Amino acid sequence: MSARVVNQRAWWLVLPVLLIVAFNAVIPLMTVVNYSVQETFGDNRFFFEGVKWFDQVMHSARFHEALKRQLLFTAIILAIEVPLGVAIALAMPRRGLWSSVCLVLMSMPLLIPWNVVGAMWNIFALPDIGLLGWTLNKLGFAYNYTRQPFAAWATLIAMDVWHWTSLVALLAYAGLSAIPDPYYQAAKIDGASAWAVFRHVQLPKMKHVLTIAVLLRFMDSFMIYTEPVVLTGGGPGNATTLLSIDLVKIALGQFDLGPAAAMSLIYFLIILLLSWVFYRVMTLGEESS
Amino acid sequence: MRRFGWLVPALYIAFLLLPIYWLLSMSFKTTNEILGGFTLWPRNFTLENYRKIFTDPTWYMGYVNSLTYVVINTVLSVTVALPAAYAFSRYRFLGDKHLFFWLLTNRMAPAAVFALPFFQLYSAIGLFDTHIAVALAHCLFNVPLAVWILEGFMSGVPRELDELAFIDGYPFWKFFLKILVPAIAAGIGVAAFFCFMFSWVELLLAKTLTSVEAKPIAATMTRTASTSGYELGLLAAAGALTIIPGAFVIYFVRNYIAKGFSLGRV
């Protein structure tokens, strides 16, 4: 990277990307900013309101509840998916036919449209005619995800683990395959335990891809919308109404543009801030070494 | 411990396949059988659900629409990302770090935030309900991702390659197309795979930006689910068919997935 030369004409090369992303990002974002400080009564006349909507959202119990649910959801799925993904990657065959079979099968959930994932789990977990719901009820658990908040949460988390653990596993696997064999031979000669190999050889080599995995999973789980809407519709009650679902309810359902816009901006800023914190924490010590 | 190591991926893959099996099994059942009670496999095996999808234009056009905007988006994203990735990997220029970071922040923008403004923007420029609109909108998150992946791959190509080509008198565009692009073919494959994937699975924006002409299959499914009541078999068949393009694409990049992940930093 140190060999990069200063060349201002490189701007011409990034210009197409800049234009296409700016068109999609800056104009809509300015629209949102515009709405967030104005009041409208649906007749295309707008009145400047200052920070009223921000104040309202920041002090709204509804927003706090949705944010708490969102943080809880993200924390749970990160705590499950990251260790599980690493464990799967460690146990996967390194080369040969079986490794290809594993990679292809494990990528499958990643390429299914999100509403189909929701619909699939909806059918799978139906208490009377779904494989999962029926089995659980036969085993003596009174399980009904449309009625019980706990069951709805468990189903939602199982669905997300089903959907996204493969991403972590694939990234971790990629990190592992980049470790040259001599590392393992050296560890074997030293008589290192499996744990020591993991701790001192494999984990440091996976650090980079794991940073990406955690960041991607954090961002995407924080933005999750389609799957829970199709699976539970945010219910029972508001039990699984995560931030995006609440936002769409306010913006498109009630058409409260001002509060929705203010909430959008706060939401976006929270993601940016937390991503930055994650990134700093996970790359801590990289700069000093 | 080592001897039973294969159990972990095997159990995990079994867990992955169970809901998919259930979807397939439902798609071969009649509505009566589905609502009649629990059956582990289809008793009255039927292809009626699939027949309906392949003969009814409102259904099969959904697949055509989805594939159209996904392919446009993939080609567009990779094409504009290639020169930009080259710039980021080879040159320093005013504001390069800020630009790169700003690009990545767009990957963090929730689609729910942009749904309404996108609807207004694309209506205003007369692109509402076209494939181009969805393809352009998906560039919001796919272009930054493609730049990121390709930059990783290009940084893996030694600079000497560029210098030798320029000494040999290659003009820039010729070097780019004839030497650099083939050298990072795997990276282009991986970037295209990710663009295809994220555009294919996204629904919220695709649904917001279309009504009839460019309606994606996923939207057809959700609308059918609400209008025709409980046609679970049909819904399951439509869902099962959406898995096929993904499986097809994975097959082509299967040897590059892992390699691409590590080289391309994603």
Asked if residue B187 is part of any domain, the answer here is: yes
Whether A222 and chain B come into contact, CB under 8 Å, resolves to yes
The Cα B214–Cα B62 span in angstroms is 8
Higher pLDDT, A156 or A282: A156
By the CB < 8 Å criterion, does B72 face chain A? no
Chain A contact for B24, CB < 8 A? no
B253 and B206, same domain (yes or no): yes
Least confident of A9-13, A119-123, B30-34: B30-34
Give the residue from B16, B88, B99, B113 with the most A CB atoms within 10 Å of its CB, the best one to mutate: B113
Residue A47, strand partner residues: A39
Does B81 reside within a domain? yes
Contact flag B38-A134 (C-beta cutoff 8 Å): yes
**B12 contacts chain A (CB < 8 A):** yes
pLDDT at B43: 81
pLDDT value of position B76: 95
Verify that B40 and B153 share a domain, yes or no.
Answer: no
> Given CB atoms, is B186 within the 8 Å cutoff of chain A?
no
Tell me the C-alpha distance between A261 and A264, whole Å.
5
Separation of alpha carbons A126 and A134, rounded Å: 7
Q: List CB contacts (< 8 A) between A260 and chain B.
A: 116
Q: Is there a single domain that holds both residue B114 and residue B81?
A: yes
Query: Does B259 lie in the same domain as B227?
Result: yes
Going by the DSSP 8-state scheme, the letter that residue B157 receives in this structure is: S
> What are A46's strand-pairing partners?
A40
Query: Which residue among B99, B139, B200 sits closest to A20, beta carbon to beta carbon?
Result: B139
Q: A38-47, A154-163, A189-198, B70-79 — which is least confidently predicted? A: A38-47
First to last CA, chain B: 31
Q: What is the pLDDT of residues B38-47, one digit of tens each?
A: 778 888 888 8
Q: Are residues B38 and B66 in the same domain?
A: no
Q: Specify the pLDDT at position A146.
A: 81
pLDDT, chain A, mean: 84
Mean pLDDT (whole number) for A6-18 = 87
Contact assessment for residue B221 and residue A122, using Cβ atoms and an 8 Å cutoff: no
Residues B160 and A137: their CA atoms lie apart, in Å, by 65
Cβ atoms of residues A39 and A56 within 8 Å: no
User: Is B261 within 8 Å of A170 (Cβ atoms)?
Assistant: yes
Same domain, B30 and B161: no
Judge whether B6 lies within some domain. Answer: yes
Handedness of CA B26, B30, B31, B37 (dihedral sign): negative
Residues of chain A in contact with residue B143, where contact means CB-CB under 8 angstroms, are 17, 20-21
- Under an 8 A CB cutoff, do A87 and B8 touch? yes
To probe the interface with B, which of A6, A95, A129 has the most B CB atoms within 10 Å?
Answer: A129
Q: What is the ipTM of this complex?
A: 0.83
DSSP H or E segment with residue A6? strand A5-6
- Ordered alpha helix ranges (H), chain A: 10-36, 52-58, 61-91, 97-107, 114-125, 131-138, 149-177, 181-189, 194-197, 203-222, 226-231, 243-248, 257-282
Digit-coded pLDDT (tens) for A61-96 = 888 888 999 999 999 999 999 999 999 988 888 777
CA distance A10 to chain B (A): 5
The whole-angstrom distance between A277's CA and the closest CA on chain B is 14
Which position has the higher pLDDT, A240 or B257?
Answer: A240
Residues B151 and B206 in one domain: yes
- Residue B244 counted as domain residue: yes
Residues with Cβ < 8 Å from A79, sequence gap 6 or more?
A: none
The answer to whether the beta carbons of residues B155 and A1 sit under 8 Å apart is yes
* Dist CA B204 CA B218 (whole Å): 10
Contact yes or no for A145/A232 (Cβ under 8 A): yes
Confidence (pLDDT) at B35:
76
Is B176 found in the same domain as B119?
yes
Task: Identify whether B135 is part of a domain.
Answer: yes
Coil, strand or helix at B43: coil
Cα separation, B266 vs A171, whole angstroms? 7
The reply to whether B40 and B61 lie within a common domain is: no
Phi, psi of B118, rounded to the nearest 5 degrees? -65, -45
* Residues of chain B neighbouring A36 (CB-CB closer than 8 A): none
Name chain B contacts of A9, Cβ cutoff 8 Å: 93
DSSP class of residue A4 equals P
CA A254 to each of CA A44, B32, B204: distance values in angstroms, whole numbers, following the listed order: 16, 38, 18
Under 8 Å CB-to-CB from B152, ≥6 apart: which residues?
A: B187, B263, B264, B265, B266
The first and second tokens of residue A83, run together, are 């260790």
B38 assigned to some structural domain: yes
Say which of B143, B204, B218 has its CB closest to residue A20: B143
Rg, chain A, Cα only: 23
Question: Based on the domain organization, do B65 and B184 belong to the same domain?
Answer: yes
Band of residue A1 on the pLDDT scale cut at 50, 70, 90: very low
Question: CB-side exposure of B151: number of CA atoms within 13 Å?
Answer: 26
pLDDT of residue B266: 38
Q: What is the CATH number of the domain that holds B244?
A: 1.10.3720.10
The separation between CA A274 and the C-alpha centre of its own chain, rounded to angstroms, equals 12
Could you say which residues from 45 to 74 on chain A have a Cβ atom under 8 Å away from some Cβ of chain B? none
pLDDT at site B258: 62
* pLDDT by residue, tens only, chain B of 266 residues: 456 778 888 899 999 999 999 889 888 988 778 777 777 888 888 888 898 888 888 888 889 999 999 999 999 999 999 999 999 988 888 888 888 888 888 888 888 888 888 888 898 888 888 899 999 999 998 999 899 888 888 888 888 888 888 888 888 888 888 888 888 888 888 888 889 988 998 888 888 888 888 888 878 887 766 554 567 888 888 888 988 888 888 877 777 766 655 545 43
Number of compact structural domains in chain B: 2
Q: Is residue B99 part of a domain?
A: yes
What is the tens place of the pLDDT at every residue in A131-172? 888 888 888 888 888 888 898 999 999 999 999 999 899 888
pLDDT at residue A259 is higher than 70: yes
CB B117 to CB A132 under 8 A?
Answer: no
The domain of B94 spans 56-263
Clarify whether residues B137 and B32 are in a common domain: no
Q: Which domains does chain A have, with CATH numbers?
A: 61-244+271-282 (1.10.3720.10)
Compute the count of residue pairs across chains A and B with CB atoms less than 8 Å apart. Answer: 282
Q: Residue A4 in contact with residue B119, Cβ under 8 Å?
A: no
* B31 and B118 housed in the same domain: no
Inside any domain, residue B51: no
Min CA distance, A107 vs chain B (Å)? 7
- Per-residue pLDDT, averaged over A110-120, amounts to 88
Give the pair of three-digit tokens for residue B75.
Answer: 């080609």
Amino acid A289: pLDDT: 40
Relative to beta strand A38-40, strand A46-48 is antiparallel
Query: Quick count: other Cβ atoms within 10 Å of Cβ B92?
Result: 15
The confidence score (pLDDT) of residue A210 equals 85
